[in-house]
Structure 1
Amino acid sequence: MANFRELTIDEITQLRQNGCHSNEWVRVKVADPFQPCHYHDCVFIGDIRLGITEGSLRGLGGLDFPTGIYSATLRDCEIGDNVRISHIRECIVNYRIGSNTCISNVGSIICNGRTAFGNGVKVNVMEETGSRVNLIYDKLSAQISFLQTIYAENTQLIEALHNMIRRYAEEHSSDTGEIGSYVTITDTTRIQNVRILDRATISGASALINGTVGFRATVGCNVIAENFIISSEAVVENSVLVHNAFVGQASQIRNGFTAHDSVFFANCHMECGESCSIFAGPHCVSHHKSTLLIAGYYAFFNAGSNSNQSNHLYRTGPIHNGILEHGCKTGSNSYIIWPAHFGDFTLVLGKHSRHPDTSALPFSYAIGQPNGESLIYPGANVKTAGTIRDILKWRIRDKRSHDIPKLDYVNTVSLSPLTAIVLYRALSVLEQIEADENYDYPRRHNFRLKREYIRKGREYYALAIDYFMGETIVKKLLHTPLNPDKTLWEQLQEEPVNVAGDWADIVSLIVPESKIKDIFSSIIDGTITSVEQLSERLNYEGSQYDHYAWTFVCHNFNKCYSVNIEDITPEILVSVIDRWTESVRSLDQMRRDDAMRDFTQQIGYDTDFDSPGEWLDDSMINKEFNPESNPQIMSMHNHYVQALLDAHQVTTELKRTFNINDNK
């Protein structure tokens, strides 16, 4: 901003003629060139700084308006260059306003005392009683929120984490509010203790209290938000109610949704329904008025209409919660009484009131029975078109702009070392159930399993493991220049890393559990002292996923292919990739067959018929619903075609480099 000076007598005279007033004109400082004609009907109280007013600003309606201040009361404010402020019904108090910002038809914008603008607000995630408190702040990531939520019993970790966040909140506290540059605020009733960052838009909001509106974020009509963080490029509009909540980057909360004590991370889309004490990881979706999400953990989740969960089966308070892991869906009218735990990519249908734990059987159908029992079809979701459709859409629906630092680490892989470990365990569980009728694993985990579905489940799980292993091998070879003078192992081995034991899924940041324990130790012993350092470390671990995944495949190569990776030959590797291509073709065919079910039951009406309501015959249906031109089917098929092309490229290079004859 420019240097400021005192007003001249002539300038004060002209301001008074324009209807402006101040009891202490000496406390009103201005930048040169100062043009009094841009100020009408203003009241200046306390220390005021006025920037340069030249040219005009374009409002939301696309019309240009002259810069300056018109019909407004300002107290202890600093105004940037080329700002337009008009029709402030009450006042703007204790705010610093950036350049090229437009504020019009607003009730009040006030900062009354020292505030952290939503940083450090307590959010009771997953448990309304407050035993899993999240402290939110404007750079909160899904991963750091996860650590606060899921590892709440680690009191040393939580104390250290919360201390870091409290320090961050204190460092970003002020008794002066901030409105950035190129901000638009119109038709809004009340803004109190809110920091508004550059290029944000607030239009028609009812009340915003104690929070932050992020870079390029949008807050729309009739929004009431208290104790909140709205991150960059997020949209909150159309009668949304937000209380004690974090809204992640590029998320959309719209159309009457109510969020209480909830956190939503990148690219969530919530409409019409209600949430209470939930953790919504990236790419969670809920669109229906009758849906209630409560006391749950979700990630890459889709809620069907009238999906409800209940944490009211208690005697000492709402202490129960539940987990729907990565990629789960709930069908229409699904109902779950917490506690319950469903594994990755599980489709949940019907009523579940007996607290099932299906975490050991991912990719399943969980069908609620009339008596509330959960019937599990293991692995059934491996073959469905919906699974691959979701995976592909997550990869293209990241709306976070490339010029903005991404807070959440988002890995959209569906099959990973962690998945492989769970799938191997699932195979073991199914084998034991099949071998021993008295094996009580389902009973102990509160679900039922029909024996006739066990063999098929094992086939699906084996196929998924084989797909993961082969995909990782092909990906590695695509990025490895081959040398005929070296052994394959010499060229494929990487720096050793400990991948033995369990792995962790920190909201799609997938790493060996040993790495997370190292991070915990660094937090507790003070090696990591700030949230910035913690975010950097977590993002680094996420960036090492390909290295960790390849090391895992090497570590488990013998288990899958009955040969040590160190002894691998080009010929064996070609046969491994050929085996993988069969898995690719199998999945392509399974999921294509599943998708075709949409086209075998289509009915419709031809609006051109003379007789209203006449049914379409088969030939007309085929024309209207042509699967060969359906973009979803084409996208799924093209995904597998590309996998086969990659496999062909790799095997061709192996054969050329090592002089492998197809006739051998």
Structure 2
Amino acid sequence: MNHIIKHRAEQLGYNFIPKAFLPEGKDEYYLRFQQNPANDYRPLTPEEIKILKANGNHSNNWNDILVRDGIDITLIEACTFYGHVRIGKLEPYFLEFSEVRFPVGLYHSMIVSCDIGNNVSISNVNFLSRYIIEDDVIIANVNEMSCTSHSKFGNGIIKEGEKENVRIWLELCNENGGRKVMPFDGMLAGDAWLWTKYRGDKQLMNAFKTFTESRFDNLHGYYGVVGQRTVIKNCRIIKDVKIGSDAYIKGANKLKNLTINSSPDAQSQIGEGCEMVNGIMGVGCRVFYGVKAVRFILAPFSQLKYGARLINSYLGENATVSCCEVLNSLIFPAHEQHHNNSFLCAALLMGQSNMAAGATIGSNHNSRGADGEIQAGRGFWPGLCVSLKHNSKFATFTMIAKGNYPAELNIPFPFSLVSNEEHTNSLVIMPAYWFLYNMYAILRNESKFAARDKRINKQQLLEFNALAPDSVNEILEAIELLKKFTGKAFYKAHKMIGSDVDYISKGEYLLEQNDPVIAKLTILGSDIENSKRPVRIIKVQEAYNAYKKMLQYYAGKEIIQYITQNNITSVTELTAHIPIETENNKWMNVGGQLIQQKALDQLLSNIREGKINSWDAVHHFYEEQAKLYPSQKLAHAVSVLLKVYEVDRQTLYNATFLKNVFADVLEIKEWITQGIYQSKEKDFKNKFKNMVYDTPEERESVLGTLSTNEFVVQQQEEMKAFRNTIEELIRNFK
């Protein structure tokens, strides 16, 4: 039986805050008046009341209706008022937005204890309760728009007297809730990652909970807010929602317990048929066409479209999810997922990822419970109809070819192509695939991600370069694995017995010599797939050479970039800039920002000791690390350079050595530019791609030409500029 309570009609609009939670000496409006402290309202005059009644308006207490001077009282028609209502100046204008015009005023609406700003248009709102409506807002054709005294606006807090079980948690990365976090307005991807990662540290977990709760109070009585120039029309239910300025909400079915951030230069929009509950939207977000989102955070400038379902998930900045279903996932910035039949569950994707149609990432059917996880570094790209099992882990920029992968995977090779070869019942890995066969895509993605970064408040420095400390360190580790697996294959082929040290030594010798015997070996990987079938590593020599080239390129390019940006002209000047400490530190991807492990450890230690006691302080740490990143990256590049060229630090201070490095970088840059051209050229030379065009003119009208391809031309221009820079450095660097 529904529990319906009857109250006297004259009480409607009053007693918003339950008496048990009303502080002594305060009335039910004290928080409302803090939210809107304006005091330039006055009572209605008898003449104004008379006009209001004549226009079909009703109030249970006209004395509780206050207005501002300058109001045209005739612009209020057929409205019913309950409780304490304050109305701003209404003037005989109409407001036009998106080619629809709305007259200023209040029309055919029920308004309960609200503050209404200047020149607002409210029409056909069946129930508008406890909202502060700022100036120039349009609200039209809404069934219910209300706010409760215990509203939390999507934040993971509880109010005085509430039980813990009403708190909203986001169950990220794992369906069993073991990595759950309390959402809060302003939560960055780095915050969510820290909270999900260090679960075994109870002291940290308690600190993060305290940080979150300290951002808010537990008081009852806050009103919902609609910011200036926001437009809301043709919606059904809006409840416990705080909305920023300049937002546009049209045709939504249900919006409940939300913060919708929006601003004049970063407008957020929600479109037709959307249902969003228990969440937070960052500025500049777009949500359109039948989206269902429950327990979520949308970071600034992210998008949900075309029936997407986002549940118990964090979607990072500049990311797009369309059509598909995403559950229990933490997704770092620049993620793309556009297809209706893709599925992502219980995953940590560390940015710049792309999900193809039919991809099923995260199947728990090999577990006794829904407690598996997928973890993937930057640039994760599962192809068409890829099915993966929990638990699996992938290095940066792993591409996975179409297939049903029957067992858990641990792919340690960055920039690799992983294939399920059913006819041989083997897993096949091609390390360095992107460098060997798809240079166009990997370099184009870098510029694409940077161009799409529309963030205004860049609290975390996002790394979009494919070659960066995280991926470069993985390349270094992958090279050691290639040595080991090659040497082991050689030993096996010759029926010899050896240790890992022997394998690495032999493998290094063969690979450095480009020995033809490598092509005759069956090179197998170990600890990569949870199965007994073989894991074949192919194109090993080519991958080894490509990895080493890219290490040289990364190290040299970073040093060159630092030299040019800081106008350094000599070894002596450069020496002063290179940190004393240049060992290759471990780096962590913290929400898309790369941070040294030792700095992260110090952050966590400071949190435990109470030296850092708020999320704002954590965000300040991100900002300070961003300032240090260029010099830290230089130190990292130097450590890689010394390792790749097998020289000591003193050699670095030799101008002749550095000029040789510059020349090597130029040569590799030319190889990269040629690789970009050749990988795109295949699209124009492939006869199967060309068979749908009867004439070259038809093809060019559809595809354009290789010589005019925007990215190819851009890279060729960059190559010319880079060559000039290097040639000048070689001439003038002392």
Partner of 1:578: 663
Give the whole-Å Cα distance in 2 for the aligned partners of 1:641 and 1:591: 15
In structure 2, relative to structure 1, the CA distance for the partners of 1:614 and 1:645 (3 Å cut) is: closer
- Matched residue, 2:598: 514
SS in 1 for 2:529: coil
- TM-score normalised according to structure 1 size: 0.91
The match for 2:525 is 442
**CA shift in 2, pair 1:22/1:189, >3 Å:** same
Matching residue's letter, 1:152: R
Query: What residue ranges of structure 2 are gaps of 5+ in the alignment?
Result: 1-37, 157-167, 493-499, 501-522
Are residue 306 (structure 1) and residue 358 (structure 2) matched? yes
Where does residue 232 of structure 1 map in the other structure?
A: 283
1:553 Cα deviation (Å)?
2.5
**Counterpart contact for 1:125–1:132, Cα < 8 Å:** yes
Contact kept in structure 1, 2:51 and 2:73, CA below 8 Å: yes
Is 1:461–2:547 an aligned residue pair? yes
Contact 1:116 1:173 in 2 (8 A): no
Counterpart contact for 1:231–1:250, Cα < 8 Å: yes
> 2:29 corresponds to which residue?
none
Residues 407, 183 of structure 1: alpha-carbon distance in 2 compared, 3 angstrom cutoff: farther
Q: What's the CA shift string for 1:181-215, capped at 9, x where partnerless?
A: 11100000000001011111111100001111111
Question: Cα deviations across residues 140-178 of structure 1 (Å, max 9, x unaligned)?
Answer: 111111112223333322221122112224379853111
- Alpha-carbon distance between aligned partners in 2 of 1:135 and 1:638, rounded to the nearest angstrom: 48
Instruction: Please name the residue that 1:370 is paired with.
Output: 422
Deviations 1:322-359 (A, max 9, x none): 1121012111111111111111111111222221101x
Question: 2: CA distance between counterparts of 1:382 and 1:614?
Answer: 29
- Matched ranges for 1:357-506 at <5 A: 357-358=410-411, 360-370=412-422, 373-383=426-436, 384=438, 385-400=440-455, 402=456, 405-437=457-489, 442-446=525-529, 448-450=534-536, 452-482=538-568, 487-494=572-579, 496=580, 500-506=584-590
Is the 1:217–1:232 contact (alpha carbons within 8 Å) kept by the matching residues of 2?
yes
1:598 aligns with 2:645: no
1:214 paired residue among 228, 245, 261: 261
Summarize deviations over 1:291-347 as a string: whole Å, max 9, x none.
111111112111111111233235542100111210121111111111111111111
Give the match for residue 253 of structure 1: 304
Which deviates more from structure 2 when the two are superposed, residues 190-199 or residues 636-645?
636-645
1:539 matches 2:592 = no
Alignment partner for residue 190 of structure 1, among 228, 234, 237?
237
The answer to which of 92-101 and 374-383 deviates more is: 374-383
- Offset at residue 138 of structure 1 (A): 1.6
1:268 aligned residue: 319
Correspondence 1:123-142 to 2 at 5 A: 123-142=170-189
1:198 match: secondary structure: coil
SS of corresponding position for 2:716: helix
The DSSP-based 3-state class of the residue aligned with 2:170 is: strand
What are the within-5 Å matches in structure 2 for residues 31-110 of structure 1?
Answer: 31-89=68-126, 91-110=127-146
CA separation of 1:398/1:2 partners in 2, compared to 1, >3 Å: closer, same or farther?
Answer: same
In structure 1, C-alpha distance between the alignment counterparts of 2:472 and 2:565, rounded to whole Å: 23
SS of residue paired to 1:450: strand
For the residues of structure 2 that align with 1:528 and 1:27, how far apart are their CA atoms? 47
Q: Which residue of 2 aligns with 1:159?
A: 206
- What is the Cα deviation at residue 73 of structure 1? 0.9
Q: What secondary structure, in the 3-state scheme, does the structure 2 residue paired with 1:583 have? A: helix
CA contact (8 A) 2:239 2:255 kept: yes
SS of the residue aligned with 2:141? Answer: strand
The answer for the alignment partner of 1:644 in structure 2 is 723
How far residue 621 of structure 1 moved from its aligned partner, in angstroms, is 4.5
Return the offset for 1:4. 0.9
Tell me the distance in 2 between the aligned counterparts of 1:14 and 1:469. 78
Q: Which amino acid aligns with 2:714?
A: S
Which residue is 1:661 aligned to? none
The alpha carbon displacement at 1:55 in A equals: 4.7
- Please tell me whether residue 653 in structure 1 is matched to residue 732 in structure 2: yes
**Partners in 2 of 1:172 and 1:639 — Cα distance?**
58
Q: CA deviation at 1:220?
A: 0.5
Shift of 1:119: 1.0
Counterpart of 1:141 in structure 2: which amino acid? L
| Deviation of the 1:57 alpha carbon | 4.5
Q: For residues 92 and 607 of structure 2, what CA distance do their matches in structure 1 show?
A: 52
Q: Output the CA distance in 2 between the equivalents of 1:505 and 1:63.
A: 46
Secondary structure at the counterpart of residue 644 of structure 1: helix
Any stretches of 5+ residues in structure 1 without a counterpart?
606-612, 659-664
User: What amino acid is the match of 1:340?
Assistant: S
List per-residue Cα deviations over 1:388-436 (Å, max 9, x = no partner). Answer: 1211211111133x4xx23553221211223222211111110111111
Whether contact under 8 Å (1:242, 1:258) holds in the other structure is yes
Asked whether the 8 Å contact 2:426–2:536 carries over to 1, the reply is no
Query: For 1:450 and 1:23, how far apart are their aligned partners in 2?
Result: 80
Pick which of 245-254 and 438-447 moved more. Answer: 438-447
Q: Which has the higher strand share?
A: 1
Q: Which deviates more, 337-346 or 377-386?
A: 377-386
1:379 alignment partner AA: A
Q: CA deviation at 1:530?
A: 1.2
Are residues 31 and 388 of structure 1, via their aligned partners in 2, closer, same or farther at CA, if it must alter by over 3 Å? same
Q: Deviations over 1:65-120 (max 9, x none)?
A: 3311111111111111111111112x111111111111011111110122220011
2:405 counterpart residue number: 352
Is 1:115 aligned to 2:151, yes or no? yes
Distance 1:2 1:37, change over 3 A: farther
Q: Which residue identity is paired with 2:225?
A: E
Match 1:563 to one of 642, 647, 652? 647
Q: 1:73–1:379: structure 2 CA closer, same or farther, 3 Å change rule?
A: same
Deviations 1:17-65 (A, max 9, x none): 1111111111111111222111111111111111111253534342443
Q: Which residue of 2 aligns with 1:529?
A: 613
**Aligned with residue 337 of structure 1, among 362, 386, 389:** 389
Moved over 6 A (4+): none
Computed over aligned residues only, the root mean square deviation of the Cα atoms, in angstroms, reads: 2.4
Q: Is the contact made by 1:129 and 1:318 (CA closer than 8 Å) also made in structure 2?
A: yes
Q: Deviations over 1:116-145 (max 9, x none)?
A: 200113111111110011221120111111
Question: Aligned letter for 2:567?
Answer: P
Q: Deviations over 1:513-569 (max 9, x none)?
A: 000001111122211111111112112212321111112223444323343444412
Moved more, 421-430 or 232-241: 421-430
Q: Structure 2 vs 1, CA of residues 398 and 480 (structure 1 numbering), >3 Å: closer, same or farther?
A: closer
Question: Matched residues in 2 for 1:25 and 1:452: separation?
Answer: 83
Q: Distance in 1 between matches of 2:175 and 2:70?
A: 56
Q: Distance in 2 between matches of 1:626 and 1:603?
A: 17
- CA distance in 1 between partners of 2:219 and 2:342 (Å): 36
CA distance in 2, matches of 1:649, 1:491: 21
CA contact under 8 A between 2:551 and 2:640: conserved in structure 1? no
Distance 1:31-1:134 versus aligned 2 partners, 3 A rule = same
Aligned pairs, how many? 641
2:429, 2:537 within 8 Å by CA — same for their partners in 1? no
Asked if the contact 1:116/1:170 (under 8 Å) is kept, the reply is no
Q: Distance in 1 between matches of 2:445 and 2:486?
A: 32
Residue identity (%)? 20
CA gap of 1:256–1:623, structure 2 versus 1, over 3 A, is closer
Work out the CA distance in 2 between the residues paired with 1:300 and 1:451. Answer: 25
Return the alpha-carbon distance in structure 1 between the equivalents of residues 422 and 220 of structure 2: 54
